[in-house]
Amino acid sequence: MGLSWMAWTWPTAAFFIFIVCCILTLTIWEIKKPGGDPRRGIFLIDTTRGDRLFITLLGSAFIFLGWLGLMGTPLWGALAISIVWGFVVFKWA
């Protein structure tokens, strides 16, 4: 069964699958190791694990849009920057 009935592409489906996997991972992480208490990081706001995931995803969206606007395709550079961004947010934010 393809995705043509929704006019979706496989990369779009992969993106939403990634989001679901992130949420499931955070759920399992919280069950296995409770205590995602808010912490104050480089943004000077209290953030929980879920907040940091949201900041990572939102920032990555802007990184990809900026890359598309300035560099065009392919998007491998934007992906690399987004992975580093995610690491920075989860480590120090």
- pLDDT tens digit string along 44-88? 888 888 888 899 999 999 999 999 999 988 889 999 999 999 999
- For 17, the domain range is 1-34
pTM: 0.77
| H or E element at residue 39 | strand 39-40
- DSSP code at position 73: S
The verdict on 52 and 10 lying in the same domain is no
pLDDT of residue 69: 92
pLDDT exceeds cutoff 60 at 18: yes
The verdict on 53 and 76 lying in the same domain is yes
- Give the dihedral sign, CA 18/42/87/9: positive
pLDDT of residue 4: 65
pLDDT of residue 13: 81
The verdict on 30 and 45 lying in the same domain is no
Q: How far apart are CA 60 and CA 40, in angstroms?
A: 21
Over the chain, what is the mean pLDDT?
86
The verdict on 43 and 84 lying in the same domain is yes
The verdict on 3 and 25 lying in the same domain is yes
The verdict on 69 and 81 lying in the same domain is yes
Q: How far apart are CA 63 and CA 56, in angstroms?
A: 10
pLDDT of residue 1: 57
What residues contact 49, with CB distance under 8 A and at least 6 apart? 26, 29, 30, 36
